[in-house]
Amino acid sequence: MGARAALAVLLLLLAGCTDRLGHGPALAEAAGWKWRIVTAGRFDLATASRAGAPGEMLTVFLEGDGLAYVTRSQPAQDPTPTEPLGLRLALAHQGSGPLAWLGRPCQYTLPSRGRGCDQAFWTSRRYAPEVVTSLGSALDTLKAAAGAQDMLLVGYSGGGALAALLAAGRQDVVGLVTVAANLDLAGWTADGGLAPLTGSLDPALAAAPRLGLVPQWHFTGAEDRVTGTGALLGFMQRLPVGAPAQLIELPGFDHACCWARDWNSLMAPALNALPHRQSAAKMENSHV
C-alpha cells in the first residue's frame, strides 16, 4: 500500500472513530437523558440516566462488547460501539422509575479519559474481576444518584454476561434480564471456534450457582449467529433447581434485530412480575 493510500485509510478510521464517540452522547441527549463520565475503580465509565421518583426501582442497561475486533484476529484500537444497542434498549424502555445506561470500560472515553485502558479489557479480559468491580462501583453511583433501593439489571450481548456476574454478587438486584447474551463462555467460545477468554469470569461457573433466588428472563434470537441459544444452555443448566429463570427464544430475531423495536412488549411480563417499591413521596402521601 502506498503512503497516500495508507494515509487515506488512517483518515477514514479516525473519522469513523470520531463518529462513534459522538453517536452515543447524541442519542442520549436527544432523548433528554443526562450523559456523564464517572470514575469507577480502575476505569472511567460512560453513563446516561433519566431521573425518576426517589425510592423507585432503578433499571440499569449494560452495553454490549462494542467494537472489540476489527477482524476475527485484530483487536480494535477503541471498543466504542458502532451502534450502541444497549443504549437503544434503554432509550426505548417505557417502564416507570429512574433509568440508567452503563457503558463498558474504554467505550466513549478514549483518549482523554482512557485510564486503565488496555486492549485485554475488551478482548480476553472483557469480563475480568477488575471489570466487574468497576461496573459495580458505577452501579453504586447511579443508584445513589437515583435515590433507589433496588435495581433491575438488563444486559445486552456481553453486557448480559456482566449483568449476571454483578447480580450474583449483590443483594439489591431484584431482577435480571439478558438479551442475546453469552452466559456460557466456555461453550460459546468452543462452539464458535474462538480463543478462550483467559482472565475472564464465566457466568455459567461464577454466577449461575448463586442466582437461585433472582427472577430472570434470558432472551435469545433463533437467527442469532453471534451468540444464539447455545451460548446460554450451560448457564441455565447450572442454575439451582427451582430458580425463577426463563429462557425465551424468539423466531426471526438475530443479534441486532429486533430487540429495540419490540422491547416494551417483550419486557411487559417481566415488569409486571417484579416487586415495585413505591417512592418515599408516594408512601408519605398515602398516610396523609
In a domain, 215, yes or no: yes
- pLDDT score recorded for residue 275: 67
In a domain, 232, yes or no: yes
Provide the grid cell at 27. Answer: 442519542
- Rounded to an integer, what distance in angstroms lies between the CA atom of residue 240 and that of residue 115? 38
- pLDDT score recorded for residue 5: 41
The CATH number of whichever domain residue 138 belongs to comes to 3.40.50.1820
In a domain, 40, yes or no: yes
Q: Please check the confidence at residue 159 and state whether its pLDDT lies above 50.
A: yes
In a domain, 79, yes or no: yes
In a domain, 1, yes or no: no
- pLDDT score recorded for residue 4: 52
CA of 116: how far to CAs of 78, 105, 122, 138, 279, in Å?
Answer: 13, 8, 12, 15, 37
In a domain, 2, yes or no: no
Q: Please check the confidence at residue 240 and state whether its pLDDT lies above 90.
A: yes
Q: Is the Cα torsion angle 120, 84, 211, 58 positive or negative in sign?
A: positive
Residue ranges making up the domain that contains 136 = 13-275
Q: For residue 3, which phi and psi values (nearest 5 degrees)? A: -65, -40
Give the three-state DSSP class for 188: helix
- pLDDT score recorded for residue 17: 64
Mean pLDDT, the chain, rounded, equals 90
- How many structural domains compose the chain? 1
In a domain, 146, yes or no: yes
The answer to which of 4-13, 14-23, 175-184 has the lowest mean pLDDT is: 4-13
- pLDDT score recorded for residue 10: 37
Identity (one letter) of the amino acid at 170? R
SS3 content of the chain, % helix, strand, coil (to 5): 40, 20, 45
In a domain, 257, yes or no: yes
Determine the average pLDDT of the residues in 264-273: 92
Give the three-state DSSP class for 50: strand
Q: Please check the confidence at residue 109 and state whether its pLDDT lies above 80.
A: yes
The answer to which of 48-57, 93-102, 214-223, 270-279 has the lowest mean pLDDT is: 270-279
Tell me how many degrees the CA angle 221-216-237 measures, rounded to the nearest 5: 75
